[in-house]
Amino acid sequence: HFGGGTGGRLAGKHILVTAGPTHEPIDPVRYIANRSSGKQGYAIAGALAALGARVTLVSGPVALATPPGVSRIDVETAQDMANAVARALPADAAVMVAAVGDWRTDAAGQKIKKEGGAPPSLQLSENPDILAMLAASPRRPALVVGFAAETERVVEHATAKRARKGADWIVANDVSGDVMGGEANAIHLVTADGVEHWERLPKDEVARRLAQRIADAL
Ligand code: CTP
Ligand code: CA
C-alpha cells in the first residue's frame, strides 16, 4: 500500500474516492455515459494522499494519470463500481465524486445493426445508488461525502440529496456553465451545520481545501 507512512494529518486513515463517469454498454461497441472528466475526483484523491491518507480510488474510464501515492481500481459500469466500493471497505471516509450512470440496459451480445428499419429502443433499468448504499451500510465510513452536479436550484437540490442519501456532506456544483471538463469549480458545501458558498477556485484548490476539511473532521 501507498501513503499513510508520511506522518501527514491523515496518516493511518483509509479514504475511498470514486471518480469519473461510468459506461453502461448497449452492445460491444456502444455505451451510455455521463459527462465527467474525472479531474475533480482525481485532484481530491491526490490531495488526500498528500496529507498522508491511504487512498483507494475507484475510477470509471478517464484519460488521467493516477495521482502519486494513490491506489487505483479501474471499473466500467455502475455495478462494477458498487462491487469495487464494497470490496474496498472498511474506510474512515468516502468521497463519492463519480458521475454514476443512473440507468443501464441489457447489453446485446453482438453489435446491433441498422439494417431492418426502425431504430432500436432501449429498455432502461435503474442502477444501484452506491452513495446511498454506503451511507446505510453497517460498514459505513465515519464520514460520507457525496457530490451533486446540478443545473438549477443547486443548493435546494443538494440539501434534499444530503437527506435522501444519508450523506454527512454534499459538495454541490453548478454545472450549467463550463465546469464539465474545465479547470475551475464554484462549490457549495452542504453539511448538518448549513451551507458554505466557496468562491470559484481551480479544481486542485477545491481538492486541497476539501482534504483539509476532511482531516479536521476525522
Ligand atoms: N451516486 C452514486 N450512485 C448512483 C448515483 C449517484 O453513488 N447510482 C452518487 C454520486 O457519486 C454523487 C451523488 O450520488 O456523489 C449524487 O449524484 P447525482 O447524480 O447528483 O444524484 P442522483 O440521486 O442520481 O440524482 P439525479 O436525478 O439529480 O441524477
Ligand atoms: Ca444521477
Q: Answer yes or no: is the ipTM higher than 0.95.
A: yes
Report the separation in Å between the CA atom of 129 and the middle of ligand 2, taken as the mean of its atom positions.
Answer: 9
Tell which atom from ligand 1 comes closest to the C-alpha of 128.
Answer: 8
Distance CA 206, CA 194 (A): 18
The reply to whether ligand 1 has any atom less than 6 angstroms from the CB of 34 is no
Is 150 part of any domain?
yes
Decide if 34 is catalytic.
yes
Residue 114 domain flag: no
What pLDDT score was predicted for residue 1?
Answer: 46
- The answer to whether position 18 is within a domain reads yes
98 lines ligand 1 (CB under 6 A): yes
User: Does the residue 98 lie in any domain?
Assistant: yes
Question: What is this structure's pTM?
Answer: 0.94
What average pLDDT values come out for the chain (218 residues) when binned by 10 residues?
A: 65 98 97 94 98 98 97 98 98 98 95 86 96 97 96 94 98 77 85 94 95 97
Beta bridge partners of 31: 25
Domain with residue 73: its CATH number is 3.40.50.10300
Give the number of domains in the chain: 1
What pLDDT is stored for residue 4 in this prediction?
Answer: 44
> What range defines the domain where residue 52 resides?
14-107+125-217
Is 116 domain-assigned? Answer: no
Which residue is listed with cell 456553465?
177
Report the separation in Å between the CA atom of 129 and the middle of ligand 1, taken as the mean of its atom positions.
7
